[in-house]
Chains A and B, each alone.
Chain A
Amino acid sequence: GAVVSQHPSWVICKSGTSVKIECRSLDFQATTMFWYRQFPKQSLMLMATSNEGSKATYEQGVEKDKFLINHASLTLSTLTVTSAHPEDSSFYICSARVLAANTGELFFGEGSRLTVL
């Protein structure tokens, strides 16, 4: 299957700093990538849809100024958690949809665990 890579896989930062997480599609192009957040023992919550060359679409309740998304190329989307606080600690997962697929199948990155001290 298609490969999606996330970096870093884990990061620890101090409260108030900003953290950038990268999501790359390694062997295919993705006009659309999705960012999810997952708390322990819970399911994935869609945060935003990242569209190449345009603004991201955020889900209700997700602060766009807090979670900055940039999708500058067909293979890279980034999520920046600005002025991170302990409550932002979570597992962040990106996913991408193969261009030709219209059944919604997504390929997921390995996830990035963020811990804010």
Chain B
Amino acid sequence: TQLLEQSPQFLSIQEGENLTVYCNSSSVFSSLQWYRQEPGEGPVLLVTVVTGGEVKKLKRLTFQFGDARKDSSLHITAAQPGDTGLYLCAGYEGKLIFGQGTELSVKP
């Protein structure tokens, strides 16, 4: 069974701080996605990483895919209250498997 371990599961920080969320697995994935979900809504795709070592930037968000395609990280610079939400990593190998999620709260 493929598993994705996401950490931390909860994170509460002040506006302006930086943070990193990690997503680790013992399995290799052909691609990995990061989603953001707000309460009562479905997840929204942020980014897909495909190539080992790939780095993608989305404004203040930086996503990295590990060289072995088993792990990924999401780094947010100068977090803002609007970044508050549930961040989910998901690995794809025929089907999409989600990590446990990281509940991020950014306080003004």
Contact (Cβ within 8 A) A111 B88: no
Q: What is the CA–CA distance of A29 and B30 in the complex, to the nearest angstrom?
A: 23
Task: State how many residues of chain B have any CB contact under 8 Å with chain A.
Answer: 25
B16 within 8 Å of A (CB atoms): no
A103 touches which of B6, B35, B92, B103 (Cβ 8 Å) = B92
B42 within 8 Å of A (CB atoms): yes
Known contacts: A34-B96, A41-B103, A43-B88. The answer to whether A104 contacts B48 by CB under 8 A is: yes
Of all chain B residues, the one with the shortest Cβ separation from A104 is B92
A74 within 8 Å of B (CB atoms): no
- Given A105-B45, A110-B41, 20 other A-B residues pairs in contact with their CB atoms under 8 A: A4-B42, A6-B42, A34-B95, A34-B96, A36-B98, A41-B103, A44-B98, A46-B97, A93-B42, A103-B50, A103-B92, A104-B31, A104-B90, A104-B96, A105-B31, A106-B96, A108-B44, A111-B40, A111-B41, A113-B40
A residues with a Cβ closer than 8 A to B are 1, 4, 6, 34, 36, 41-46, 49, 91, 93, 95, 103-111, 113
B residues with a Cβ closer than 8 A to A are 6, 30-31, 33, 35, 40-45, 48, 50, 88, 90, 92-93, 95-101, 103
